[in-house]
Structure 1
Amino acid sequence: MWVKVWNWMAIVVGAFIYSIGLNGFLVANHLAEGGFVGISLLLLYKAGWPLGITFLVLNIPVLIPGWLVFGYRFILKTAVGVIAVSVFSSVTSHFRVPTHDPLLAALYAGVVTGFGLGIIFRSGATTGGSDIIARLLRHFFKFSMGRTLFAIDLCVITLVAVIVGRETAMYSLVALFVASRVVDFVLEGVQSGRALTIISDEHEKIVAAIHDQLERGTTLLKASGGYTGSEKRVIYCVVPRTEVPRVQSIVARIDPRAFVVVSSVHEVLGEGFTYDSPSTL
């Protein structure tokens, strides 16, 4: 019950933070964005149309077909997100943090808007607009959502370059990039790490050293050499990024000829990460 309530509250909180970033840093420094927000900002700069109302009006034509195709459960949270962004964009319309450094403004805009969007996305909602268009095109024509979203953002930023100016477009791209990274951080959480795949004839010694010195769990996988056909044991271990050098040092000390692959892990749940008791898998 409380989880559901928090999800709905989080959409509103995320929309408020996002609106602070829009008005406080993007509008205050005459920067833009992609998607429907970018179009709304262009209309604000050139025609004086209110950002919040324009954003809501632009979304209505895509919310209706989204409702018909995907059902009310999917579109309801998105509608709340759209309305909340529209309302808070109007409420915070006079909030400004002007700066003489547009790059600094773009960086702060990316951080604040990305954090707000991340909260909205994590709650299962979106801010509508190009996201719904991308879903509709994928549903009817099997278009890639990622490519569709990129194409829409590219078109909007191109319009910004033509109508407002190339420098504004370039700084806006910086804000978009930073926002995308912050969104990923919010969605993936802080429990990120690195997965190490270790192939060595000294696997028993390496496993024992990892358990004793790092108190991290390991998994032994059965494998065979593709060329020799001989049986192998593959060590799989997930550790925080800060512990990767220690694992590499252990492996290098025990078996300098070991084969080690380090991969990014975006979210790690379980013992040693989301609660404290270490164990061996």
Structure 2
Amino acid sequence: MSGTSRSYLGKGPTFTVNIAYTVWWNLLLITVGGFIATIGIKSIAVPHELVPGGIFGLSSLLYYTTGKLNPGWINLLLNIPLFLFAWFKVSRRFFLYSLYATLITTLFYEFISISIPIQNQLYAAVASGVVTGFGAGIVLRSLGSNGGLDVVAVYLFQRFNMGIGRVYLVFNTLLYFGSLMRLQLDVIIASLIMVFITGMIIDQTLSLFSQRKVVFIISNFANEISNDILTQLKQSATFLKGFGAYSRKEKNVLMTVVNNVQLKKLEEITFTHDDEALFIVENTFSVTGSSFSRRKIY
């Protein structure tokens, strides 16, 4: 997650505060994201008896089956062993933020009621997936999680780089197979659609504002282009040694990383110097270090 840094100068030494690691910013992300996710579940999914993803999905299934408590309180109880896992396997800060996320979501679910009159079950599945995924993704941009399966997903992502959306998809597939005896097949299929969309939106929300373009430029004017990158774009660049297969001559390959706004300017710089340059662009969703985002530490 990228964060904004502020530098403070005083009589003492200079120090930098990264907003992404401040308490107020993380609580804001968790509160806003938890509210949005609650609307997606309570106002859209539950009226159609759709089963949301993760532990909350299991909670909803238990609620549909027993009619006891409500999914919010069942979810809180099921989270207890996962909170212990977060305390020992991730970090205490992650545990506290995740605990806050679960508590605030439970309170939102208990006291907030917003009617969204969607009649079609398929439309409800799509809408719930988008809204819930966006809310859950906002929470995951903090240093905490939504609790539940997020705790395990974040741990697997941190240790094995396993995508959070993918972890949800595997768990929920097993959950829906287990619910075949209780729910109609149409409801299960609609729930799978909802969860698939939720996972996609979570991943997109996590990459929001972090998308970058890796650009490789092969040109006989690489030095001139690199100078303009440094002065006009205020970005760094790296020379890679290349060897032409046809010319059998060494040449510099220029590599740099820019955002979407800077890309067109870089293209203009390149072809202004050399209209025969080779301009190669690749999408990347994770650029950490230097002037880009800091490595996220839970």
TM (norm. structure 1) is 0.75
Deviations 1:128-174 (A, max 9, x none): 222334567899xx887546544312212333455323332333233
Q: Does 1:21 align with 2:40?
A: yes
Counterpart pick for 2:97 among 72, 77, 86: 77
Residue aligning to 2:132? 113
The CA distance in 2 between the partners of 1:238 and 1:65, in whole Å, is 38
Residue aligning to 1:47? 66
The CA distance in 1 between the partners of 2:240 and 2:91, in whole Å, is 46
Residue aligning to 1:225? 243
Q: Does 1:175 align with 2:168?
A: no
The CA distance in 1 between the partners of 2:143 and 2:257, in whole Å, is 28
The structure with the largest helix share of the pair is 1
Residue aligning to 1:64? 84
**1:216–1:106 Cα change, 3 Å:** farther
**1:201–1:109 Cα change, 3 Å:** same
**1:68–1:192 Cα change, 3 Å:** closer
Task: In structure 2, list runs of 5 or more residues that go unmatched.
Answer: 1-16, 294-298
Given that 1:23 and 1:89 are in contact with CA atoms closer than 8 Å, whether structure 2 keeps it comes out as: yes
Deviations 1:33-80 (A, max 9, x none): 221011112122232231111111111122234334445333111111
Three-state SS of the structure 2 residue aligned to 1:28 is helix
**1:234–1:144 Cα change, 3 Å:** closer
The CA distance in 2 between the partners of 1:215 and 1:8, in whole Å, is 34
Three-state SS of the structure 1 residue aligned to 2:116 is coil
Given that 1:114 and 1:182 are in contact with CA atoms closer than 8 Å, whether structure 2 keeps it comes out as: yes
Aligned Cα RMSD in Å? 3.9
**1:190–1:148 Cα change, 3 Å:** closer
Q: Percent identity at matched positions?
A: 29
Counterpart of 1:41, as a letter, is: S
Deviation at 1:223, TM superposition (A): 0.6
Three-state SS of the structure 2 residue aligned to 1:96 is coil
Matches within 5 A, 1:196-235: 196-203=215-222, 217=235, 219-225=237-243, 230-235=249-254
TM (norm. structure 2) is 0.71
Deviation at 1:196, TM superposition (A): 1.7
Counterpart pick for 1:5 among 18, 21, 24: 24
